[in-house]
Amino acid sequence: MSEAITIKSPREIELMREACRITAGARSIGRQAVKAGLTTRQIDRAVHEFIVKNGAVPSCLGFEGFPAATCISVNDEVIHGIPGKRVVHNGDIVSVDLCATYKGFVGDCAGTYACGEVSDQARKLIEVTRQAFFEGIKFAKAGNRVYDIGEAVQACVESHGFSVVRDFVGHGIGRSMHEAPEVPNYRPRERRANPRLVKGMTICIEPMVCAGDWRVEILRDGWTVVTADHSLAAHYENTILITDGEPEILTMADDI
């Protein structure tokens, strides 16, 4: 991740809006494809085709060797699941995380969706994870600091008896998928950079929430992150713009 925080010009913000519009639409396609009997590769293919059809490039494909357009994570998989032959079944929860690049600018969003009838705990986990994003974005205003967002996310999540992942965080975004600053979903205790938010910043807020303990492990494929205790996990993310007033959610279209 680069160290310098980039402030977007009005022209760059317009390009970000278009990249994010396509990205949000792709998330909607992924959400609709979460059906019993389909493989995670089939979900990925539908997302890939939508991105390309809309004149963008799937940013995840080939990023540091990642082999697909979409990260698809099921049940105890938190993030970075590799699409493949795995079949989605009734009762699963499926996280769809993707990026699209349009004219040099990247949009990024994610969501976790129920396949058919899921447990009460699973449904609550999905709802709280999404709610935590909206608690965090209340503090995404010029003059506040990055950790104000994470503190609000953490408070929401823990008030419902869940936990937030510490090993992976939100981030700045623009010409690169991952830019400064890091945007934790909690308030770090150690002394770290805690930059002030300013108009023109574009960042991704992305709560990653576990039903059990927050600790995670990376599988032997080098990508898939799972909960260490194999409890369920959920993920919700949007790209947002810091303005001189309320923040603008750039990837909100087509979300439910």
User: Residues 106-162: pLDDT tens digits?
Assistant: 999 999 999 999 999 999 999 999 999 999 999 999 999 999 999 999 999 999 999
Q: Which SS3 state, helix, strand or coil, does residue 176 take?
A: coil
Query: What is 10-249's CATH number?
Result: 3.90.230.10
* Structural contact between residues 179 and 1, judged by C-beta atoms closer than 8 angstroms: yes
Angle between helices 10-32 and 40-53 (to 10 degrees): 140
Mean pLDDT of 194-216: 98
> Which residues are CB-contacts of 108 (< 8 A; sequence separation ≥ 6)?
23, 59, 97, 98, 99, 173, 177, 204, 237, 239, 251
pLDDT of 254 strictly over 80:
no
> Which residues are CB-contacts of 71 (< 8 A; sequence separation ≥ 6)?
60, 79, 80, 81, 82, 95, 96, 97, 98, 110, 223
Q: How far apart, in whole angstroms, are the C-alpha atoms of residue 244 and residue 247?
A: 8
Q: How far apart, in whole angstroms, are the C-alpha atoms of residue 211 and residue 121?
A: 8
User: Backbone phi, then psi, for 109, in 5-degree steps?
Assistant: -155, 165
* Structural contact between residues 146 and 250, judged by C-beta atoms closer than 8 angstroms: no
Mean pLDDT of 9-20: 98
**For residue 49, how many other CB atoms are within 10 A of its CB?**
14
> Which residues are CB-contacts of 58 (< 8 A; sequence separation ≥ 6)?
47, 48, 51, 52, 69, 70, 98, 99, 100, 101
Q: Which SS3 state, helix, strand or coil, does residue 78 take?
A: strand
The predicted pLDDT at position 193 comes to: 81
Q: How far apart, in whole angstroms, are the C-alpha atoms of residue 240 and residue 108?
A: 10
The predicted pLDDT at position 192 comes to: 73
The predicted pLDDT at position 1 comes to: 44
For 67-119, write each residue's pLDDT tens digit. Answer: 999 999 999 999 999 999 999 999 999 999 999 999 999 999 999 999 999 99
pLDDT of 48 strictly over 60:
yes
* Average pLDDT in the chain: 96
pLDDT of 2 strictly over 70:
no
* Structural contact between residues 202 and 172, judged by C-beta atoms closer than 8 angstroms: yes
The predicted pLDDT at position 12 comes to: 98
